[in-house]
Structure 1
Amino acid sequence: MRQPSARSRLTRALAGTAAAVLLAACAPGAGAKEESAPALPPRHAGLDYQLGGAYPPPEGVGTVVRDHTARPAKGRYSICYVNAFQAQEGAESDWDEDLLLRDAEGGIVYDGPWNEAVLDIRTAEKRERVAAKVNGWIDTCARKGFQAVEPDNYDTFDRFGRYLSAGDAKALITLLSAHAHDRGLAVAQKNTAELAPERERTGLDFAVAEECGAHRECEAYAEAFDDRVLVIEYEKAGLSRACAGWRDRLSIVLRDPDVSPAGDPGYVRETC
């Protein structure tokens, strides 16, 4: 076979280079600035859970969780709480009526202990509408300077399996995670240990685990989230168990059930 001339080889090489450049320029995202990953909470940092009202974090606290209506804690990794799967107590009127889950008689389904109306997320259309509202709060979190968001009640389906499924919950949390990441925020998985192995699929970055010591679930979260786990216990027995197994790896705090602000008669806060 006749060998190509030097000129022919050069021509082909230049053509190949030009084609490669053209393909790269046409590739999805070409020319766009690569998005940086959101900052994740530090492992094994001092933790305070301030949902009942903001107050100056105690000494040694590096991570603080506050409601989306509050301001982030200066100089700390600040996480913004939003109620994503249920309406806050007394806030039913903030939602379209058809987004409140109804029983067979047409009555609103409530999560009894908290008296919160459960949201109806059984269809893609309704999930989009719920996400649109929650995403507005997430936008507020980002504007205020929070680094992460904690969408609460991911596990509502587990209490109301007659109406909701894990698939419904995962579909909604995936929408919220994508939006939060677009705003530069990390996203917490709240409780729901059985879904921790699916965290990458649903876009979840770390865990907020209530009473994982009491329920012997801390290992499931630690394994799935590489020890980026915030543990909140509400009883001393749970705190003792969490500290015995995880004091050197996870962020752990004992709070009173009402997560009262410092100075309130019911305020309780202890650590390992």
Structure 2
Amino acid sequence: MPSPRPGVRVHRRARPRPGVRRTGALLAALLLAVTLAPAAYAEPLPVPLPVGTDVDYQLGGVAALPDHVGIVVRDRAAEPAPGRYNVCYVNGFQTQPGERRFWRRHADLLLTHGGRPVVDEAWGERLLDIRTPATRERLARVVGRWTRGCARDGFDAVEYDNLDSFSRSRGLIRARHARAFARLLVAKAHRVGLAAGQKNWDDWDGTQAGFDFAVAEECGRYAECDRYVDSFGDRVLVVEYRTRDFSATCREHGDRLAVVLRDRGVTPAGVRRWC
């Protein structure tokens, strides 16, 4: 290039520093990849529990549903009902009677006292040992598998029985253990797109753990329904087992809550009445 004349400024094209060209090409490629990549995975959103409809509680076997029943609770081994809001019943804090072989293989996760199992005598179910973070994590993985099964089968929600099991643990399990485990289970439900129902224990506002609705057994009999309403509003499913309690609950809450009268065996041919 000829020498510049005095007073004439020559603009020379700057040469890129080593590595700058490579870095620019890499950034361009990354931007293109981000633009073309699919949207990040998002957890499915749970469908809220409907209000203004009746509920049937069918744990002991499947029965035909009348048209006015929009919500049905069934065992996780049962098929969901087409066209209804289906709640999957899962034993989250106690064992299920038909799964003794499974729990024999996982006996270290069951609560014992003096070398003997701690049992909910009313139902003959052993209590799960949720006292330590380690056992809670292991049990949450077990219950989480069942919860994923509910989602795959087409259920809309899950209720974990029975949140107040600690009250039958001879003082071995504390309320704080139940709350900590409940948070793990709710997270498992929400991760697969299921709403999560708090089963009993009116003394605690389960919305603090993320519960979306409540299933309250005999809240009319024990004057507990208002506490659930304070936490969950209209999204409370009430199951009564005595006629006089059912009648009183219908008078006090039937215009707002879904209330059903069932026999204690919740059998297909058993008592089924609505407000």
Q: Distance in 2 between matches of 1:84 and 1:116?
A: 11
Q: Distance in 2 between matches of 1:207 and 1:39?
A: 15
Equivalent of 1:204 in 205, 211, 219: 211
Give yes or no for contact 2:207–2:231 (8 Å, CA) kept in 1: no
Q: Which has the larger radius of gyration?
A: 2
204 and 161 in structure 1: CA distance in 2 versus 1, 3 angstrom threshold: farther
161 and 110 in structure 1: CA distance in 2 versus 1, 3 angstrom threshold: closer
161 and 225 in structure 1: CA distance in 2 versus 1, 3 angstrom threshold: farther
Deviating beyond 6 angstroms after TM superposition, the runs of 4 or more aligned structure 1 residues are: none
Q: What code does the residue aligned with 2:208 have?
A: R
Q: Distance in 1 between matches of 2:58 and 2:167?
A: 26
Q: What code does the residue aligned with 2:232 have?
A: F
Equivalent of 2:172 in 138, 148, 163: 163
Q: Distance in 2 between matches of 1:258 and 1:138?
A: 24
- Structure 2 residue runs of 5 or longer lacking an equivalent are 1-38
**TM-superposed deviation, 1:161:** 4.8
Determine whether 1:60 maps to 2:63: no
Q: Report the equivalent of 1:147.
A: 156
Determine whether 1:179 maps to 2:188: yes
- Corresponding residue SS for 2:117: coil
Equivalent of 2:135 in 114, 126, 133: 126
Determine whether 1:251 maps to 2:258: yes
**TM-superposed deviation, 1:90:** 5.3
Determine whether 1:79 maps to 2:87: yes
1:83-102 matches, cutoff 5 A: 83-89=91-97, 91-95=99-103, 96-102=106-112
Give yes or no for contact 2:221–2:240 (8 Å, CA) kept in 1: yes
Q: What code does the residue aligned with 1:57 have?
A: L
Deviations 1:63-114 (A, max 9, x none): 000000011110000000000111112533312111111112x011111111
* TM-score, with length taken from structure 1: 0.83
Equivalent of 2:51 in 8, 27, 43: 43
- Corresponding residue SS for 1:155: helix
Q: Distance in 1 between matches of 2:230 and 2:170?
A: 26
167 and 161 in structure 1: CA distance in 2 versus 1, 3 angstrom threshold: farther
- CA-atom RMSD in angstroms: 1.4
Q: What code does the residue aligned with 1:207 have?
A: A
Aligned residues: 235
Q: Report the equivalent of 2:118.
A: 109
Determine whether 1:193 maps to 2:202: yes
Equivalent of 1:225 in 212, 225, 232: 232
Give yes or no for contact 1:92–1:117 (8 Å, CA) kept in 2: no
Give yes or no for contact 1:90–1:116 (8 Å, CA) kept in 2: no
* TM-score, with length taken from structure 2: 0.82
- Structure 1 residue runs of 5 or longer lacking an equivalent are 1-30
Q: Distance in 2 between matches of 1:125 and 1:138?
A: 20
- Corresponding residue SS for 1:75: coil
